[in-house]
Structure 1
């Protein structure tokens, strides 16, 4: 199950899937590209998670919170270990390739200027949850 992360910079929303982990009121995920660049510029984020069976939604939850970026290698290794293990993947690089490629596609702002953030690297993002709403179906 993945979450969809919503970020916004300069009134330009961006939504993308992330693999995540949750512990003690904090959502953790590893990312790079546009998601990371946006979080660095505006730490207010939203996440949406839903559980489905056979195409039917069992429940969904929407979370609003404040993101903190960690570039600390030890902290990143700690989070990477249990987040990616939960998805049955030992190598996050291969798993993230398609998502990161999508994030780093050039988006035009109409002026022909590139709007990519490939220089932003790869980091751990920790979202302290501020509010939650959920539905059970």
Structure 2
């Protein structure tokens, strides 16, 4: 059972928007843009580098997604959750394909990226 309301799900499943993933290690925040895919209370991202290293150290993360028109925000969703790294190349490849399909991108790009699943603990929606 998902902790995400229907109104939030509708926005998460809409157009391909950029999300900002917040991680933290040693009480130092790190925020970076990511592509994502939402499915029934779980966010999938594929990543590498600092984001992945941070999640290995501290699985508590936040994700922020916003839709805007000409710089004016329409809505913002903020998600808090726990990330799990899936160290399985076949699952990562499938997730890359799903995410790249959403963003109409070349699925062969970023082949080193690893699947990270975020189980959403709470979600909030702000409309403007």
Give the TM-score taking structure 2 as reference length.
Answer: 0.82
Q: Which runs of 4+ in 1 moved over 6 A?
A: none
* Separation in structure 1 between the aligned mates of residue 108 and residue 102 of structure 2, nearest angstrom: 12
Tell me the equivalent position of 1:7. Answer: 23
Gaps in structure 2 of 5+ consecutive residues: 1-16
Output the CA distance in 2 between the equivalents of 1:36 and 1:29.
Answer: 10
Give the total of aligned pairs.
112
Question: Which of the two has higher C-alpha Rg?
Answer: 1
Out of 88, 105, 108, the position equivalent to 1:72 is 88
Aligned to 2:13: none
Map residues 31-50 of structure 1 onto 2, 5 A cutoff: 31-50=47-66
In structure 1, C-alpha distance between the alignment counterparts of 2:87 and 2:124, rounded to whole Å: 30
Relative to 1, partners in 2 of residues 1:54 and 1:26: Cα closer, same or farther, differing over 3 Å? same
Find the residue that maps to 1:90 and give its secondary structure. coil
Offset from partner CA, 1:45-103 (integer Å, 9 cap, x none): 00000011121111001000000001211211221111111111014636x9xxxxxxx
CA RMSD of aligned residues (A): 1.5
User: Does residue 1:130 correspond to 2:121, yes or no?
Assistant: yes
Task: Compare 4-13 and 68-77 and name the one that shifted more.
Answer: 68-77
Could you list the runs of 5+ residues in structure 1 that have no partner in the other structure?
97-120
Aligned residue for 2:8? none
What is the rounded CA distance, in whole Å, between the counterparts of 1:127 and 1:87 in structure 2? 19
Q: Quick one: which of 14, 35, 39 aligns to 1:19?
A: 35
Higher helix fraction (1 or 2): 1
Q: Give the secondary-structure state (helix, strand or coil) at the position aligned to 1:131.
A: strand
